Amino acid sequence: MAVRLFVGNLPYDASEDEIREHFSSVGTLSYVFIPLDRETGKKRGFAFVEFSDAQQAQEAIRQFNNQPFKGRALAVNEARARDASAPRPPGGFRSPSPGGF
């Protein structure tokens, strides 16, 4: 079963190829995704990587969590699904109007 990892504290200039190469020492990555900011289109400083083998994913966490990559200590852990049930403010995340609600 595939295991997806969250890789945080990435340098903003890190490329998919660099991430793939860095993590390939523990196994073959089946997936690499670097999210972009919707408004600016710039990288957000984190990525998701996926190993098809759970043991390789655990080894990647063991080897790379809190270890330097391009001058920054990575945060590597198992990715968690977004909590779709988290409460959101009424009307989304808009700023209140100047006159109040």
Q: How far is residue 74's CA from residue 69's CA, in Å, rounded to a whole number? A: 7
For the chain, give the percent of residues with pLDDT over 70: 81
Beta-strand (E) ranges in the chain? 3-8, 29-33, 46-51, 68-69, 72-73, 75-78
Q: What is the pTM of this model?
A: 0.79
> What are the pLDDT digits (tens) for 64-97?
999 999 999 999 999 988 765 545 444 444 434 4
Q: What's the whole-number mean pLDDT along residues 46-58?
A: 97
Mean pLDDT for all residues in the chain: 87
Residue 96 or 20, more confident:
20
Q: In the sheet where 46-51 sits, what is the strand order?
A: 29-33, 46-51, 3-8, 75-78
Q: What pLDDT shows up at residue 97?
A: 40
pLDDT in tens, 27-41: 999 999 999 999 999
pLDDT of residue 83: 66
Provide the angle, in degrees to the nearest 10, between the axes of the packed helices 16-23 and 54-64: 100
